[in-house]
A = this chain, B = another copy of it.
Amino acid sequence: MSSVGIVETKYFRIEQKICLESGVEFGPIEVAYETYGTLNEEKDNAILLLHALTGDAHAAGFHCEQDKKSGWWDEMVGPDKAFDTNKYFVVSSNILGGCSGTTGPCSINPETQKPFGLKFPVITIEDTVKVQRKLIEHLGIKKMIVAGGSMGGMQALEWAISQSDIVDAAIVIASTARITAQGIAFNAVGRNAILSDPNFNNGDYYNSESQPEKGLSIARMVGHITYLCEESMHKKFGRKFQDKDSPNFDFNIDFQVESYLAHQGRTFVDRFDANSYLYITKAVDYFDLAYKYGSLEAAFKKSKARFLVMSFTSDWLFPTSQSKEIVQALVKTGKDVSFFEIESPCGHDAFLLEFQTQTKIIKSFLAKKVRNGCGHE
């Protein structure tokens, strides 16, 4: 059972246009967000949680009594949890370009009264942070901590750099300051699958009977392989057949791992928009602090935050070596940084699964008891 109980998604509207990194002026923007805990009088006890690729504002709790599935980081948010709602005012919002309440390609374009589709501007991680900043100002927050895994970690880094006046601390989990060529390649395959789906119809499918479900499903399947790791797939499925003991000798599903992936693909299309998948993976591909600032050290120079960086041993999508690059650049620029590589067989998904160790480390970091250095858990 969730310990934050029933929560409500709220909406905040940014009326004035925002200048995006591409140069496009874009607005108005609606932001879906949730909060857990209470903002103190000093308005300096906030923690902003930043979701991963396909996440949403619903980080913790249930939306109603009948709700079976709690928020994506429910184990981490609540009284006495990693993000302790007795002490902190925890905020979570859906990112710009998403499909879970914040303005994105499926939203109505006020100029045409039709969904934006591919008329939605291409966004970057910096743009998503700019939008979140408006929300944070709206909530009256003066000082805050940012925390996120995977793409959420990218946003946390971006916050600590481009919004340095307000960020006290940044928790960056299973993340990177830029994805690898291999990471871009996997995202490119996913986008290709969507763009190749005849139902995609150049992004204009919202009022059509047929959606680009097959393309989106394939994109999710590819993604899902990268979120797990060989070890976890071996443990979970190995080469076990699905509901039988021998091969079909046809092209139906033979192995459990095939069934699992097909299920992941199928259920994903019910909750995610193909256009959002294009926009958000593109933002991930573009994110490159060293490219933008000249070097990673230059990027971190203006940050005033202290950092907690965590990686997982079996994460091959955003491997430990990439976290270490961040840590080394932070050390070189004299920042306060703690680094933990957590032993886990769960691959990249570990940040959504390894609650105990993360909780211990985060609690310690938030209590400022983590020593400045490196550790293994």
Write the residues of chain A forming the contact surface with B, with a CB cutoff of 8 angstroms.
22, 24, 118, 121-122, 178, 180-182, 184-186, 188-189, 191-193, 195-198, 214-215, 217-218, 221-222, 225, 228-230, 233-234, 236-239, 247-251, 254-255, 257-258, 261-262, 265, 278, 282, 285-286, 288, 291, 316
Contact = CB atoms under 8 A, between A and B. Distances in A.
A142 to B, nearest CB: 34
B185 A239 contact: no
Contacts of A185: 221, 225, 233, 257-258, 261
Nearest to A265: B192
B122 A249 contact: yes
Given A181-B234, A184-B239, 18 more contacts: A22-B247, A122-B249, A178-B239, A180-B233, A181-B236, A181-B255, A185-B221, A185-B257, A185-B258, A185-B261, A186-B225, A188-B221, A195-B251, A196-B215, A239-B291, A251-B278, A251-B282, A254-B286
A283 to B, nearest CB: 10
A151 to B, nearest CB: 16
Contacts of A249: 22, 24, 121-122
22 contacts: A24-B249, A118-B251, A121-B249, A122-B251, A180-B239, A181-B238, A181-B239, A181-B257, A182-B225, A185-B257, A188-B221, A188-B257, A189-B225, A192-B265, A193-B218, A196-B215, A196-B218, A198-B198, A247-B286, A251-B278, A254-B282, A255-B285
